[in-house]
Structure formats: C-alpha cells, structure tokens
Structure 1
Amino acid sequence: MTLARFARLSIVREVPHHRSNEFYGQPTTSYTVLPVLDYNSTSTLRTSGFIDTYTILPQHLYTTTTKISATMLCILPDELLLITGVTGHVGFAVLTHALKAGHTVRCAVRSEAKAAFIRSRPQIRALDLPRARLNFTIVPDITTDGAYDDAIRGVSAVIHVASPLATADSVPRDLHQEYFIQPAVRGTLGMLEAAKRAGTVRRVVITSSVVALTSVDHLEGRERREAVQPTERTGFKPEPYESEFAAYAASKVAALKGAEAWIAREQPRFEVIHLHPSFVIGRNDIATTASEAMKGTNAVILATLRGKKMGCSYPGATVHVDDVARAHVQALLPTVPGNKGYILSTKSRWNDAKLIAKRSFPEAVERKLIVSSGSVGTVNIDFDASASEEVFGFKLQGFEEQVRSVVGHFVELRLRRPALPTVASSSMAVNQHLRPEVVAA
C-alpha cells in the first residue's frame, strides 16, 4: 500500500469537536478534517494534534459528501522533523506544538544533559509519547563545519531556532563577533549546507527577527517611519557595536543576508521560510522558578510589575510565544508559500501590563506579588503582520493575552516557591535576561 507523501485533507462531515475547531489554523467550523489518501480502505489514525481523530474513509465517499476542501500537509509516519534551540523559550514552545500536531521530532541539543532535561519537562511527559516520536542528537558546537550532517540524516523538514541571544552588557566588545555574529551566520549556513547534502529535506524554517528588517535607530526611537514590511531589509553594521543589543541585531541581519545570498547562489531543491518575531512574550515552560521566569523578553514585563523603573524604552512590538510556535509548525505546510519571510508582531504599550495584571490577577496584587510602582517606556513602532495572519489563517493574540500568559506563569511559580525576586534582583534580571549563549543547538 503506497501513501502519497502529501495528501489533500477534505472536510467532509459534521461531527462535534472535543478540542479545537481549527486544524493548523484553518477553520473547520463544525466539521472534522479528514485526509484523502490514495487507497480504498477504512482505518483510524490517532493523534495528539488539534483534533482527536483523522478518519480515513473509502475514496467514493468524498465525491458525495465533501463540503469544503483545502490542500494541507498530511503528516505520515516517515516524516521526520529536526528542531534546534529546544532548550530556549521559543524553541521549547515550538517542540511541544510540533509534537501535539503529530510530528516525529529529532532535537539537536548540545549535550546529553540537555536532552535529559527536555525529556523530564512536565509538558513533554504529559504527552506520553512513544520513544520513537521524540529523539535527540548531540551537536556540541553549531559553528563547526558539518555540525548538522549527522543530525539531518533522513530528515524531511527543519525548524532552526538556535541562535545567540543577548541584552546584558556582560560580553566585552572585542568578543561581540565571536559571541553573536559567527554563531548566527555559521549556524544558519551550516544548516542550509547540511540540508542540501542530505537530499531529503523539502523545507527549512528559520527563526529570524524583526531586527533584521529595520535599523537599530528605528527600533530605539531615533528614526520615525511607516509600518515595516516583511520584504524590507536593513544594512549590516560592522563592529564595534555600542551595545549587545546592537550586536544581536547585527547577527540577525548578517544571518538573513547570508541565507538569502546562499539560496540565490545554490538554488536548493528545498524551500526556506524566515519568520520574524518581535519581542516574544508568554509562559516560559523551560523556567522552573519565579527567578527563571524573569529571564528572556518576559523580564521587561515582570520586572516592571515587581516595581522596577526602567531607565529606557523598548519597542512597542510584541508577540505571544504560542503564536510564534504555532506559526513555526504551520510554516511546514505546503499551503504556506515558501522562500518568503513572515512578520509575527502586534502593537503594544509596555505600561499597559500594569492595568492588565491588576485586572486579571487581583489576588496577586493583594498579596503584593505584583505592584504598580514600576514603569517602562514604549517606542512607537509598527511591523505589518497582516500578510502573516492571512497566510497562517489566525489572528495574533494581543498584548493582554500575552501579559496574562507570562504573569499567570510567574504567579504560579511564585506560589510554588518561597523565594521572591526583589526589585534589585528584578533589575539584574532585565540586565541579564538574555545572556549571550547559543540556545541549545
């Protein structure tokens, strides 16, 4: 029996949904999504995705009962997905979304200890997966030649999240190139080269950033302009860099430019998609304590709600981590046009987090787990994500949902642990919330 690697999924009969009325973001109303395959048998395939059951019906039923149809990816057992960066905020969210969507996943991590940590997370254990659905490969250094050659063997698709992250001014300026630029560029190009050599990859999804699309002056409010489009690019600024943020932005610019130049030169058989999220906000399931929850871009909100008065402003552009993860997984679908970039961002005002938290978590306010004395400025900036919402078929969650997610997780962890970050430690968290490290190759 031969199955088509890509099959058309048809919505063919009304059934009550017990989970979601969407499949990969495509609305199903009151219908269930049923795959059309190339044989005439009846069976049921269980999945932990957005709906409970895919029913494979005899072919003749589709000619009389089909009401809506859409071309989408049919996940088959021989499809293997490689994900990097899974020990980070975004990467772990991508991993859990991919597993829930039915993918068989191989994770590239830096050590066996990292693999054991991921396996031990409650969100992974709760899925109760067969061991074959999730496996790991060790890539100690993503900057070495052929780093991903073993990891990518037999892989059909790649989600490359791993890249240096930073905002703390703890790295000497003479090391910015080594910490930021080289890992971002070499990691990305190394993955593309490995995918080409493998010969089995059909699509590579790369986590870029909105900072690759516009200047640091624009991001920091020194330059005003209209909404940034996904097709825009900004020039690469060589070192020295005045801050780690500038070095981080340069690394994203360099990685995007390098990837696009490689694609134009090599003309690979596979497609490449770049996703450009802004400040990623939301529950961080890698964090196990309240202090750990205050790392990453979540620190801007949480430190403010712990009473920190910021001495600077941040771009008013944020996105829910769940939407970022969902877009990464959906970007594997053939319905999403390849060799394009997609912005993931909503407009936000950082100080609105205080009102949202007060309204959503009155008990936490009463217990002074969160306070309203902190403040942070907002740079008015706009990134046009309308094309992304149209292609992916869902509206990005707003700042209120983002704040509720991250604050709810912080309160949950705080009530579980006795240690509460002070205003002083909140300041340290903001200064160090994305320490320079390559996140889990």
Structure 2
Amino acid sequence: MAKETILITGITGYIGFKVLYIALTHGYRVRGVVRKEEQISKIKSHPLMNGLAAGVEFVVISDLTEAGAFDTALDDISVIIHLASPLAKETDYYDRDIVQPPLDMESSLLGSAFNTPSVRRIIITSSAVTLIPLSWITTSDNDTVFTSQDLNTDTTPPYHNSMEAYWASKALARKHVHDFLSRNKPHFDIIQLLPSVVLGPDDWATDLETFFVGTRAMIVPIVQGKVMEGALVGAPVLVDDVALAHVDAIKPSVPGNKDYILTSDTPEGIEWNSILDIAIKYFPQEVENGLLQCTGSLPTRKWKLDASDTKKAFGWEFTSFEDTVRKQLEQYITLVKSSRTSS
C-alpha cells in the first residue's frame, strides 16, 4: 500500500530536517516547503539525503504568513506537519513582530487546509512553555505536575521584553488552534506537540560555531568548565524523539485533536549538573586529557511534567537524559577533534 503524501514546513531547521529524514525513511512522499530557492540544493546535497532526495518535492513560499499562501501547495496532501517559525527580527515592537506572525502563519495554514478536502490531519510544533506563564519560573513551586491540559493564560500585553513576548506568543498560538477547532469543526483533526528543552546532535552542525547555538550554547559549556548563572528548567528531550513523534503522529492510531508533551525522565526531571557525571562515565579519556574539563555548573529550575498520555498514544519511551547527553557530547567531541586537526 502506497504511503501518503505529506507536506512539511521548517525542513531546514534543527528539528524539521530530522522530521524530513525520518518521514522519507518511513516511506512517505514529502512535499517540503522552503522560503528560498537556494535552500533546495542545500537540502538535496546533505549526506543524509543520499538515496532519499527523490522522495521529496519542493515548493517555495516566501511569506508563510500571507493569507492563501498554502492554497496551491496542498493539492493531494493528506497530512501537514508544521514546524516553521516566523523569521526572527531584532525589534522593540513585541506585539507586532513577535506575537502576531505565528498567529498569522497558523491562520494562513489552517485557512488553506479548511478549503482542501484531502487533508485529514495537521501536526503542529508547539512548546512545553505553553503550559506555564513566564512568571512561574521565579516562584517556589516545585511540586505541581503539569499535564497537556495546562495552558498559560498570562498572555495579556504589554510585553516588556522579547522573552516575555515569545512566551506569550507560544501560548496564544496554541490557544488559537483550540479556538479554530471549536469554532469551525473542520474535516481534519489537529495534533499539537509540546517539546521541552530539545537536545541532541544537529545534522546541520559542521563546526563548533554552528554547534554552539540555541540550548546547546547553555548546556555544553559546563563541560568546558564554565559556570552558568541563569537557571534552566530541568526537562530535556532528545531531538530524535521529537522528530519521530512528528512522523508517528501521522498514524490514525494516535488520537487527534489532542496536545502531547514531549519530554524525558518524567515526572521528576533532571539536574543539569549530572552532565558532568555522564561525561566522566562515558568519556573518561577526554576528561583525563582535558578535552572535557567537567568543572562548570548550570543551576536547575525543577519542572515536573507528565508525559504519560504521550507514551500511551505513541507506544514508546523517551530516550533517557543520560543517553541524550552521551549523544550530544559525542558530536561535540568529534567537532573539537576535527577543529584541532584542521588548525
């Protein structure tokens, strides 16, 4: 039986490219959305696309927030996986340039899907930060166990900085989907995936400069001996698990019109400084020769999450934090040794 044709946005991203790769290896036909023509050759030439590139066709949509932008891209599409984020801007206009674009993008996608009878399911990348208000981080609450039923309602402007606006934008976008379903009763269902702190090897990282971006720039430096001051919520998830969840969510056996938390080591979470013990356990030689100094630290903000609904629906366990860190450090060590060889 032939696999379905699915549309995926955000395929040049950290998570999105892994979703594309896994979807192709699972036999799905993919229509990949890119913003620029030159991104197509970059994807096709990636080593992981060897033997798989023929399974993906590309469509260029430069502005994903424009009404009707997806109209012609959805012909014969049965499932949409939406990972793309609005292009980042350096701005002081938080309401206009941070909060509104994700809502416009969702409206564009949902509107086009509503007019496309072949679409049966939409899978949207949301975030576990939608479960809590940003202000919760500074409270003393270490006991509440958050579930996929929780939703941050502390989203009223004005927003005083970009982080506050980002936090609100994620919650508002998730609520926007709930409101769309309630108001329109579409012919398709929607699954929203809520990953926590995403870690693991990046298929696009080819050197240390491209490796040290996002959360990795906060996590890995503690094995370089750096003492980090700001606390990070202790709720990790392996990027490969996040990508697999997007592809597995295509299956009709996974109940739709639901939100699913993606996180490991539940419900207690982890302590970030345990990275040092993991490094010593798996890479004793690198610790002995100083490549991994293991003298840094990163404070942990305890955050209890319940992912039992996710495990039941998808039928698999999340990769442990220990294995996630091992995979992350393997890539880091490889890049460090490569940089020393080439210098």
Structure 2 partner of 1:372: 294
The CA RMSD measured in Å over matched residues stands at 2.0
TM, length-normalised to structure 1: 0.73
The unaligned stretches of length 5 or more in structure 2 are: none
Q: Distance in 1 between matches of 2:283 and 2:339?
A: 18
Q: Percent identity?
A: 36
Q: Distance in 2 between matches of 1:112 and 1:98?
A: 22
Q: Amino acid of the residue matched to residue 90 of structure 1? A: I
Structure 2 partner of 1:348: 270
C-alpha change, 1:123 and 1:179, in structure 2 (3 Å) is farther
- For the pair shown, which has the larger CA radius of gyration, 1 or 2? 1
**Secondary structure of the residue that 1:415 maps to in structure 2?**
helix
Q: Give yes or no for contact 1:221–1:379 (8 Å, CA) kept in 2.
A: no
1:403 equivalent among 325, 332, 339 = 325
TM, length-normalised to structure 2: 0.93
Structure 2 partner of 1:32: none
2:162 equivalent among 244, 248, 251 = 244
Q: Distance in 2 between matches of 1:335 and 1:221?
A: 39
Structure 1 partner of 2:69: 147
Query: Which deviations, in whole Å up to 9, do the C-alpha atoms of 1:304-330 show, x marking residues without a partner?
Result: 222221111010111111111111111
**Secondary structure of the residue that 1:375 maps to in structure 2?**
coil
Structure 2 partner of 1:412: 334
Shift in Å, 1:153: 2.0
Higher-strand-fraction structure? 1
2:176 equivalent among 258, 273, 278 = 258
1:96 aligns with 2:21: yes
1:114 aligns with 2:39: yes
Q: How many residues are paired up? A: 338
Structure 2 partner of 1:227: 145
Q: Give yes or no for contact 2:44–2:53 (8 Å, CA) kept in 1.
A: no
Structure 1 partner of 2:90: 171
Query: Which deviations, in whole Å up to 9, do the C-alpha atoms of 1:353-400 show, x marking residues without a partner?
Result: 111112212233234332212211000111100111111111111111
Q: Give yes or no for contact 2:25–2:52 (8 Å, CA) kept in 1.
A: no
Higher-helix-fraction structure? 2
Q: Distance in 2 between matches of 1:189 and 1:114?
A: 25
Q: Amino acid of the residue matched to residue 98 of structure 2? A: F
C-alpha change, 1:339 and 1:108, in structure 2 (3 Å) is same
The unaligned stretches of length 5 or more in structure 1 are: 1-73, 421-441
Shift in Å, 1:338: 0.4
C-alpha change, 1:310 and 1:202, in structure 2 (3 Å) is same
Structure 2 partner of 1:87: 12
**Secondary structure of the residue that 2:298 maps to in structure 1?**
strand
Q: Distance in 1 between matches of 2:68 and 2:305?
A: 36
Q: Give yes or no for contact 1:319–1:397 (8 Å, CA) kept in 2.
A: yes
Q: How does 1:282-297 map to 2 (within 5 A)?
A: 282-297=200-215
